[in-house]
Amino acid sequence: MLNHATLLGLAIVFAAGAPEDARHPVITEVLFNVPKGDAGDATGDGVRHSAGDEFVELFNGTTAPMELAGYTLTNRLTTGDQETTRGVRFRFPKFTLPPGGVVVVFNGCESDIEGPVGTASKAPKEANSLFGDAYVFTMDNRSRNRAFSNGGDFVLLSSPRGEALDAVTWGRSDPEPPEETVRVATVRSNPKGSVQRVTAESPMEAHLSIDGRACSPGELPPTPTGGE
Ligand SMILES: [Ca+2]
């Protein structure tokens, strides 16, 4: 029989488990609206592509390695719909992100990204010096329909267990990120480049307003002078 002391004990066990569960990567940068011209060539392959140059950057802000297998990135079309042939969906293969490590997932449509570059089925062999020594993946999307919508959309990071962890949304997204999402950042739909947060906890800002660059796949810009 469960008496009061037992229930209290269960509560304590549950609370003690919470920090363990909180060890997830966070979204630190998103390029969902690729700017015109050279500034839009985030992949650095010499071609600006409205879908292919889109990317999502993740960061391990903890002091422990993280296994990324099974984490997913989805948008408004693919969240809860695995069958649709439109929208953005990426599921990480087995890959351990070291403490302080950064991952970039490019859309990759009609792009030629210099290696090492991983895919949904295979992790990159090593960090990529062209992208701030981040670990680079490509969704290797084959259709322009597999992209973010500039006018209104979101990107959602979910855990392997399907918990909605971290989202960035812009414009009029229909639907909006799931209500249970642990953190949702809302940004303007035309930031003229990416949106970036400089630490795991910082607000998402237009990259241009941080350091004048349109984006920085794989790099977390230094925190502004006077910051932490
Ligand atoms: Ca490109």
- In the three-class reduction of DSSP (H, G, I as helix; E, B as strand; rest coil), residue 21 is classed as helix
pLDDT tops 50 at residue 12: no
CA 70, 198, 174, 137: dihedral to nearest 10 degrees? Answer: -40
Q: How many angstroms separate the alpha carbon of residue 202 from the centre of ligand 1?
A: 28
pLDDT in tens, 104-152: 999 999 999 999 999 999 999 999 999 999 999 999 999 999 999 999 9
Q: How many angstroms separate the alpha carbon of residue 199 from the centre of ligand 1?
A: 26
The average pLDDT across 178-201 equals: 96
Q: Which residues surround ligand 1, an ion (CB under 5 A)?
A: 41, 43, 45, 47, 53
Q: What is the pLDDT of residue 171?
A: 96
Q: What is the pLDDT of residue 223?
A: 76
Q: How many angstroms separate the alpha carbon of residue 105 from the centre of ligand 1?
A: 13
pLDDT in tens, 14-70: 444 334 445 899 999 999 999 999 999 999 999 999 999 999 999 999 999 999 999
Q: How many angstroms separate the alpha carbon of residue 52 from the centre of ligand 1?
A: 6
Q: How many angstroms separate the alpha carbon of residue 37 from the centre of ligand 1?
A: 10
Residue with tokens 């609370």: 15
Q: How many other CB atoms sit within 10 Å of the CB of residue 171? A: 18
CA dist 40 and 22 (Å) reads: 34
Q: How many angstroms separate the alpha carbon of residue 88 from the centre of ligand 1?
A: 17
Peptide bond into 65 cis (omega under 30): no
Q: What is the pLDDT of residue 10?
A: 47
Q: How many angstroms separate the alpha carbon of residue 10 from the centre of ligand 1?
A: 52
